[in-house]
Amino acid sequence: MDEASVPAGWEVYGRALVTSMSGVLAEVPEDHHPKFLETADFWLALGLAAGLERPSEAKRLLELMEPDEEARAEITLDAEELCKEVFG
């Protein structure tokens, strides 16, 4: 993707994604970072699409993926922080 084709706001989203992934990125070699970020971006987009198109199933899927209620609450807070970083 060249600079002219980057959608408005993508740079802010990209920085927020890197920030939210900083713990994981610190544990892997730097040359792996682009693939980790690409993978995170894909799964985030998949989760957002599921949440928008099939909200009740997305809720059930999250409960299946993370059965611990406190951990799901932390994920919710992380999601709120990501949105605040991107949208203010």
Separation of alpha carbons 26 and 39, rounded Å: 16
* Tally of structural domains, the chain: 1
Query: What pLDDT band is residue 71 in, cutting at 50, 70 and 90?
Result: very high
pLDDT at residue 8, rounded to an integer:
76
For the cut 70, the answer to whether the pLDDT of residue 1 exceeds it is no
Range of the domain at 63: 3-87
Residue 65's nearest CA partner among 87, 46, 37 is 46
User: Which residue intervals of the chain are DSSP H helices?
Assistant: 10-20, 22-25, 33-53, 55-65, 69-87
For the cut 70, the answer to whether the pLDDT of residue 5 exceeds it is no
pTM given for the model: 0.77
